[in-house]
Amino acid sequence: MTTQALLQVLASGLLMGLIYALIAVGLSLIFGLMDVVNFAHGEFLMTAMYVVFGLFLFTALDPVLFAPVAAAVLFCVGALAYLGIVRFAMRAKANQGMVQIFATFGLATLLQGAAQYFLTPDYRSIGNSWLGGKTLDLGGVFLPWPQMFGGLVSIAAFGGLYLLMSRTDFGKALEATREDQGAVALVGIDRNRVFALGWGLGAALVGLAGAVLAIFYYIHPQVGATFGLIAYVTVALGGFGSVFGALVAGVIVGLVEALTAAFLPPAMKSLGIFALYLGVVFIRPSGLFGKL
Amino acid sequence: MTDEALNLPPAFGMLPRRRNQLLVAAAVFAAIAVSPFAIKDVYLQNVLVLTLLYAAVSQSWNILGGYCGQISLGHALYFGIGAYATSVLFVTYGIVPWGGMLVGGILSAAIALLLGYPCFRLKGHYFSIATIVIAEIGLLLVHNWDFVGGALGIQWPFGSDSWATLQFARDKVPYIHLALALLAITWFVTFLIEGSRWGYWWRAVKDNPEAAESLGVEIFHSKMAAAAVSAFFTAIGGAFYASFLAYIDPESVMSFRFSLLFALPAVLGGIGTLWGPVVGAAILIPLTEITRSYLGGSGSGIDLIIYGGLIMLVALAKPEGILSLFQGKRQKAEGRS
């Protein structure tokens, strides 16, 4: 493999990795806040992709413009999922872990079924957009603009998340609630409200990722399953609850996947990620940056 | 540490509660055994076979996931190993499925022990995700392994009906009895374990590993033993499934969907209980099959809406499982918590 080809592989892997990080960070955020793994995370992504696709069909405007809309819609979806489902799952007295897994898995199945029933199982894609099909030539390394846009949105989102967590009252409330759920009630923070906002924020982040993916990826009811699994592996690799871990793990996953695909048959491209995950947790049982 | 020191009851049921459970099981299984005299419809018989099979495999999952508290979401791997070992040995080497069943079971138990070494160091979600990942690796490898048919899978040859080759093209009743036998065996094994020292150890490992360890429970060996038994019977279920379908491919025996389908009945019925997986399967499987056949096929998605909604409803409304509806009063009456 020539240096040029290797650079191409690494550049594609890096861009996809930033998008994986953006998909995973919401999952990690929610887990860090309240120890709940959302098994419907992939389906949140799918919902965001359909939101962008639908708006594109009805307004004929460019999909790039809909990223904030998708984030806003998903914020509501996330907050509602907490208020309508997860809040009750957390009240379970027996085997809470399983109840949460299956309550959110039930939601995932329901969303998938609804997409299939109302939107048909067809594969859709957004045909022409400002960025679609255009590439940036960096001395022989070609970077597709949709993926570049995704990488930039991801970096911006992580920057914004950092500011939100460190500079705002909401960020402080989030941090305090994750440290000690009982104590925050004593200083007048409504735990339920923080959780609902946390779920909204986590879903809004995956909403951004979905909006970016919709520009260059096929949209179909099962799309969430593929990215969902990658998101779980990414979060566990980085360490559950660690925002920084999600960013680093996302990039690593993207690079490893691109390298595996370059050397093994395309069907085996996930093998590298899976092997990497097992390799890491067998040595460090709580992931790269996990505190557990 | 001896049984007396742990103040355990004797392993074999002198207790009236355990004797009653045996009698109930005998009655239930006998009723299912004669049910084909009443259920002549082939479609319903098919549903019954699947219900019994999922109950049996879920019972096997329950040994590791329910009693020992290690939530595996990768049992499709063991199911697939059973199905593939049986199919390859029968189709390629002409070894009757009974032999393949045993080979698959032992192979699965051995692999479970091998994987247990690194995996049981992991806790909670890290463990569950590792089991998903390992099963997905298995699926990828089988997909790309031509010797076992690759993506195309393995078609069993058509032959005459026979108990030796487990092929019954016209009559579904033998499959009902086979699946019932598997369920009865897994139920009885679980019953024996529940009353034995292993049963107490596993529940201790699940409820409070630190306390269990300080009382001398071998946590690591407990988990390994549970994993091996659980994998063995899951593989037998896979072997049966292969002979029932007479055709397997990677997706139809090893996809992630199966891992969830093995955990679900136990969770819905009552995790870590003797009858939970049976009750869960008896409700879940007929409902899945019937919504799938009567509400416009599996493509429309309406079956998924009902299925997903039901899982959510049960998980939220009855987190201890459906069985707890009946058990609450009796346990209080007996003074057990």
Question: Distance between CA B5 and CA A253 in Å, rounded?
Answer: 51
Task: Kindly report the CATH number assigned to the domain that includes residue A129.
Answer: 1.10.3470
Is it the case that residue A135 has pLDDT exceeding 80? yes
CA gap B27, B132 in Å, rounded: 37
Nearest to B141 by CA among B111, B162, B170: B111
- Among the ranges given (B77-81, B101-105, B141-145), the one the predictor scored with the smallest mean pLDDT: B141-145
For residue B66, the model assigns a pLDDT of 86
Query: Taking a contact as any Cβ pair under 8 Å apart, which residues of chain B between 48 and 77 contact chain A?
Result: 71
Least confident interval from A44-48, A127-131, B153-157, B328-332:
B328-332
Residues of A in contact with B310 (CB under 8 A): 106
Give residues 264 to 283 of B whose Cβ lies within 8 Å of A.
264, 267-268, 271-272
Three-state SS at A124: strand
Alpha-carbon Rg for chain B, nearest whole angstrom, is 20
Q: Indicate if the pLDDT at residue A55 is higher than 60.
A: yes
B312–chain A Cβ distance below 8 A for any pair: yes
Cα distance between residue A162 and residue A247, in whole Å: 12
Q: Using the beta-carbon criterion (under 8 Å), do A271 and B140 form an inter-chain contact? A: yes
Mutation test of the interface with chain B: which of A100, A110, A282, choosing the one with the most B Cβ atoms within 10 A?
A110
Q: Tell me which amino acid residue B72 is.
A: S
Q: What is the mean pLDDT of chain B?
A: 85
Q: Is residue A168 part of a domain?
A: yes
- What is the reported pLDDT for A126? 87
Residue A257's domain comprises 3-283
Least Cα separation, residue A137 to chain B (angstroms): 35
Is residue A94 scored above 80 in pLDDT? Answer: no
What percentage of residues in chain B have a pLDDT greater than 70? 91
Contact A151, A12 (CB under 8 A): no
Q: Which residues of chain A lie closer than 8 angstroms to B284, CB-CB?
A: none
pLDDT tens sequence across A250-288: 999 999 999 999 988 877 888 999 999 999 989 988 888
Burial category of A13 from C-beta neighbours within 10 Å (exposed 0-12, middle 13-18, buried 19 and up): buried
- The C-alpha of A123 sits at a distance from chain B's nearest C-alpha, in angstroms, of 14
Q: Lowest-confidence range among A84-93, A180-189, B133-142? A: A180-189
Residues 6+ apart with CB under 8 A from A179: none
Is B312 close to A107, i.e. CB distance below 8 A? yes
Two tokens at B78? 């063991």
- For residue B300, which residues of chain A lie inside 8 Å, CB to CB? 116-117
Looking at chain A, the whole-number percentage of residues with pLDDT higher than 90 is 56
- Compute the average pLDDT of residues A29-46: 90
Q: 């990942």: which residue's tokens?
A: B133
Compute φ and ψ for A35, nearest 5 degrees.
60, 30
Residue B86: its pLDDT value, please?
94
Taking CB atoms and an 8 Å limit, are A113 and B308 in contact across chains? yes
Q: Total structural domains in chain A?
A: 1
pLDDT in tens, B300-320: 778 788 888 888 888 888 777
Residue A162 in any domain: the answer is: yes
CA-nearest residue to B135 within chain A is: A274
Residue B231: the pLDDT is 96
Mean pLDDT of A66-90: 93
In this model, does residue B248 exceed pLDDT 80?
A: yes
pLDDT at B209 over 90: no
**Res. B299 pLDDT band, cuts 50 70 90:** low
CB contact under 8 A, B134 and A96: no
Selecting from B125, B300, B303 the residue whose C-beta is nearest the C-beta of A240 gives B125
The predicted-structure confidence for B84-130, as pLDDT tens digits, reads as follows 999 999 888 988 899 999 999 999 999 999 999 899 888 888 898 89
pLDDT at B2 over 60: no
- Which position has the higher pLDDT, B331 or B143? B143
Question: What is the residue extent of each domain of chain B?
Answer: 11-254
- Which helix (H) or strand (E) covers residue A141, if one does? strand A141-144
Question: Is residue B337 scored above 80 in pLDDT?
Answer: no
CA distance A200 to B128: 25
ipTM: 0.88
Reported as a pLDDT band with limits 50, 70 and 90, residue A159 is: very high
Judge: A221–B267 Cβ closer than 8 Å, yes or no: no
Minimal C-alpha gap between A236 and chain B (Å): 6
Pick the residue of A101, A222, A253 with the most B CBs within 10 A to test the interface with B by mutation.
Answer: A101
Q: Which helix (H) or strand (E) holds B310?
A: helix B302-317
Say whether pLDDT at B9 is over 80.
Answer: no
Q: Note whether residue A182 is domain-resident.
A: yes
Residue B82's closest CA among B240, B190, B228, B225?
B240
| Min distance B181 CA to chain A CA atoms (Å) | 29
CA–CA distance from B225 to each of A291, B122, B208, B230 (Å)? Answer: 30, 17, 18, 8
| Residue A82 domain flag | yes
